[in-house]
Amino acid sequence: MDWWSNSAIYQVYPRSFQDTNGDGEGDLVGVISRLTYLKSLGIDAIWLSPFYLSPNNDGGYDVQDPRAVDPRFGSMEDAVNLIKAAHKSDLRIIVDLVPNHFSTEHKWFKAALQSLPGSLERSRFHFYDGRGESGEIPPNNWCSIFGGPAWSRVKEVDGKPGQWYLHLFNSTQADLNWENTEVKEDFEKTLRFWLDKGVDGFRIDVAHGMFKESGLPDVRSSWIEKIFGKNNLTRMLSPEHKPFWDQEGVHDIYRSWRKILDSYDGDRMAVAEAWVSPASRIAKYVRSDELQNSFNFEMLTTLWKADQIREKINNSISALAEVGAPTSWVFNNHDVVRSVDRLDLGLTNHGDTTFSRHGDVNKLDIARGTLRAKSATLMALALPGGTYLYQGEELGLPEVRDIPEDRLTDPRWKMSNYKDRGRDGCRVPIPWKSASDGAFGFSSNENLTLQQAWLPPSSWWGKYSAESQESDPNSTLNVYRKALAIRKNEPGLGDGAMEWIDAPSQVVAFRRGEDFACYINFGSEIELPSNSEVLHSSAPLNGNHLPTDTAVWLRVSK
C-alpha cells in the first residue's frame, strides 16, 4: 500500500519550531535537533512549511526564490542535512510548493516592473490596464483573500501610474500566469530540484488556484456581497463557482507533475491544499494520473456534534472512494484557530472579524476544548486513511489570544483593516521546557526573553511544554504517543474499510478490521459494550463508562 494512505504526517512550521542560533526564529538545524522527539511521537513523515528565500510577508508563502533557502532558516546544506537525517530516522520529508504566486521580490516581478506593458516580462504575471478614463479603476471586481482589492497599480518606468497586477493574497504575492510556458517550466525545474535533493513529496499550496477563467470576468454582481462581503475562508469555502478557483486547467498541470513524480525512484507524492467543495470536486485532484493525496478539510469546519461528524466522515469517504484515493484527516494547520478552541466554541472558520473567526473568549472552556481535541485525535487516527498533524497539536496547545497588536505579523491583520487578528495565534513558538528561559526552550539562547522570540509566547505557555507533559500518562502528548504506537501495529487501522456501529445518537462509533472499535461520546456518559477490552482512551474512563467528550479504542468480539 502507498505510504501516504496510512501515514501520520507532522507539519513543522520551521520559524516556530526550534531556534539554534539564538536569533529568536526557528531554523532547519533546529528541526534536525528535534528529530529524536519527532521520532518518539511515532509519526511517519514531516511536512515542512516554506523555508525558501522570502521577504516573509506571508510566513514564507511569498517566495522570492523557490530553489534557495532563506538565511533566517539556515543554508541549503542544512536543508540537505535535514532530509538525510530524517531519512536516517526513517521519516519521510514533504516540502511546500507555492505555484499560485511569487513574491514581488522575485527577479521576474522586478523585471516586469522595469518592462513595458505587453512585454514578455509582464506576461509571466497578470498585468492589465485599469478601467475608467485614466485606468484608475482595477481591471475587475475581484478581492484579495486577505481583504481589499485583488489588484495593485504599478508605476511605469516613466514614473506615471500604469497597469495593475493581480494578487489573490497579499499585495506582495503576485499571481503567476500559468498560460505562460516559462512559468510551467520553472515549476518543473523546482520540482526536480527538490526531488533530486531527496524529498519524498510536496504539499501544493492553493492547489485550486493557478488558472483563472479566461478573460478574468467580474464575479457576478449578485454574488459580490455573498462572496466578497465575507472573510477569506468564507470565500474559499463557499460552494459557488468562482472565476479564480478550481478551473479545469489545473488538472493538466497535475497530470504533468505526476509524470515527473513517477519518473523518480521511491514513492514520491504530492498532496493538494484545495479548498474546493463539494467533496466530489476534491476527488478530481486525486484521480489516478493526478496528485496522490489531498487534504480533507471537512473537520476544520465542523461543529462538535455527532450527527455532523458522522455526515462529514461519510461524505469524505464516499467522495474519494469513486476515484480510489485514500482520504486524510486534518484538525489543525497554520491557517486555522487551534482545535482546542475551535471544538469548544463551535468555530467553523467563517467570519470577517476576530470575534467571528476566533469566537467569544469569555465562553471558552479550555479544559473542555482539550478533552474534545484529544477525542478528535483518537477519532482521526482510527478513521480510514492518513492524518496530518500540526506542531503543538500533540501538546494540546490552545490558540494564543494575547499577542500584543503591535507584534501581530499576519498580513490579514492589516488587510482586514485591523478587524481580524489573523493566524498568528496558532503559530506561536513551541514550548519545549516549563521554565521561561530561551522562551520556554524554543531558543538555544537561554537569555532570549519571551519578547525576543519572533512571536512572543505568553507567560502561561510553560504549562503546555513537552517537558511538563512527559511524565503524565494522561497528558495530551502521551495520549498521542500511545495512539500512534497502537495504530502502527493494529492491522485494522490506516487505510481500508470501516463499518458504523449502532450506538445512541450522541455517540459516533465505528469498527475497523476484525475486532477494533472506536467510540466518541458527544453526549452524556454511556456504558461501554460488555464484550470489550479497553486499548486506549483520550481521557480516564469512569469504570466501564465513557464520559462526555471522551473517545475510547476497544478490542471487541463480534
Contacting positions for ligand NOJ (CB under 6 A): 58-59, 61, 98, 169, 205-206, 273, 334-335
Determine phi and psi for 147, rounding to 5 degrees. Answer: 115, 150
Closer Cβ to ligand NOJ, 205 or 399, answer by number = 205
Closer Cβ to ligand NOJ, 56 or 316, answer by number = 56
Dist CA 407 CA 558 (whole Å): 56
Q: Of these partners, ligand NOJ, Ca ion, none, which one is at the site of residue 335 (CB under 5 to 8 Å by kind)? A: ligand NOJ
C-alpha cell recorded at residue 193:
530540484
Q: Of these partners, ligand NOJ, Ca ion, none, which one is at the site of residue 449 (CB under 5 to 8 Å by kind)? A: none
Write down the least CB distance from residue 97 to ligand NOJ, Å: 11
Strands 269-272 and 293-294: parallel
CA separation, residue 558 to residues 47, 185, 337, 530 (Å): 39, 56, 40, 11
Q: Of these partners, ligand NOJ, Ca ion, none, which one is at the site of residue 198 (CB under 5 to 8 Å by kind)? A: none
Write down the least CB distance from residue 203 to ligand NOJ, Å: 9
Write down the least CB distance from residue 193 to ligand NOJ, Å: 20
Contact 52/70 with Cβ under 8 angstroms?
Answer: yes
Contact 271/328 with Cβ under 8 angstroms?
Answer: yes
Helix ranges (H only) for 398-446 are 411-415, 437-441
Determine how many CB atoms are found less than 10 A away from the CB of residue 498: 19
Q: Residues interacting with Ca ion, by CB under 5 A?
A: 19, 21, 23, 25, 27
Write down the least CB distance from residue 23 to Ca ion, Å: 4
Contact 272/295 with Cβ under 8 angstroms?
Answer: yes
Q: Of these partners, ligand NOJ, Ca ion, none, which one is at the site of residue 206 (CB under 5 to 8 Å by kind)? A: ligand NOJ
Write down the least CB distance from residue 75 to Ca ion, Å: 12
Write down the least CB distance from residue 242 to ligand NOJ, Å: 16
Closer Cβ to Ca ion, 14 or 66, answer by number = 14
- Contacts for 442 with CB less than 8 Å, ≥ 6 apart: 16, 18, 19, 26, 429, 430, 431, 432, 448, 453, 457
Alpha-carbon torsion (229, 232, 234, 239), positive or negative: positive
Write down the least CB distance from residue 504 to ligand NOJ, Å: 38
Dist CA 71 CA 77 (whole Å): 11
CA separation, residue 57 to residues 64, 99, 374, 400, 412 (Å): 11, 17, 33, 20, 10
Contact 259/172 with Cβ under 8 angstroms?
Answer: no
Write down the least CB distance from residue 58 to ligand NOJ, Å: 5
Contact 20/78 with Cβ under 8 angstroms?
Answer: no
Strands 507-512 and 498-500: antiparallel
Write down the least CB distance from residue 17 to ligand NOJ, Å: 16
Closer Cβ to Ca ion, 48 or 347, answer by number = 48
Q: Of these partners, ligand NOJ, Ca ion, none, which one is at the site of residue 19 (CB under 5 to 8 Å by kind)? A: Ca ion
Closer Cβ to ligand NOJ, 211 or 553, answer by number = 211
Residue owning grid cell 522527539: 37
Alpha-carbon torsion (480, 484, 485, 486), positive or negative: positive
Q: Of these partners, ligand NOJ, Ca ion, none, which one is at the site of residue 27 (CB under 5 to 8 Å by kind)? A: Ca ion
Q: Of these partners, Ca ion, ligand NOJ, none, which one is at the site of residue 410 (CB under 5 to 8 Å by kind)? A: none
Write down the least CB distance from residue 101 to ligand NOJ, Å: 7
Closer Cβ to ligand NOJ, 169 or 187, answer by number = 169
Looking at beta carbons, which residue is closest to ligand NOJ? 61
Count of alpha carbons within 13 angstroms of residue 267, beta-carbon side:
10
Q: Of these partners, ligand NOJ, Ca ion, none, which one is at the site of residue 205 (CB under 5 to 8 Å by kind)? A: ligand NOJ
Dist CA 309 CA 55 (whole Å): 40
Q: Of these partners, ligand NOJ, Ca ion, none, which one is at the site of residue 70 (CB under 5 to 8 Å by kind)? A: none
Which of 175, 299, 154, 317 lies closest to 247 in space, CA to CA? 175
Closer Cβ to ligand NOJ, 163 or 170, answer by number = 170
- Contacts for 215 with CB less than 8 Å, ≥ 6 apart: none
In the DSSP assignment, the letter for residue 282 is H
Closer Cβ to ligand NOJ, 15 or 334, answer by number = 334
Q: Hey, is 240 helix, strand or coil?
A: coil
Q: Of these partners, ligand NOJ, Ca ion, none, which one is at the site of residue 23 (CB under 5 to 8 Å by kind)? A: Ca ion
Write down the least CB distance from residue 478 to ligand NOJ, Å: 29
Closer Cβ to ligand NOJ, 295 or 516, answer by number = 295
Closer Cβ to Ca ion, 21 or 81, answer by number = 21
Q: Of these partners, ligand NOJ, Ca ion, none, which one is at the site of residue 21 (CB under 5 to 8 Å by kind)? A: Ca ion
Closer Cβ to ligand NOJ, 330 or 371, answer by number = 330
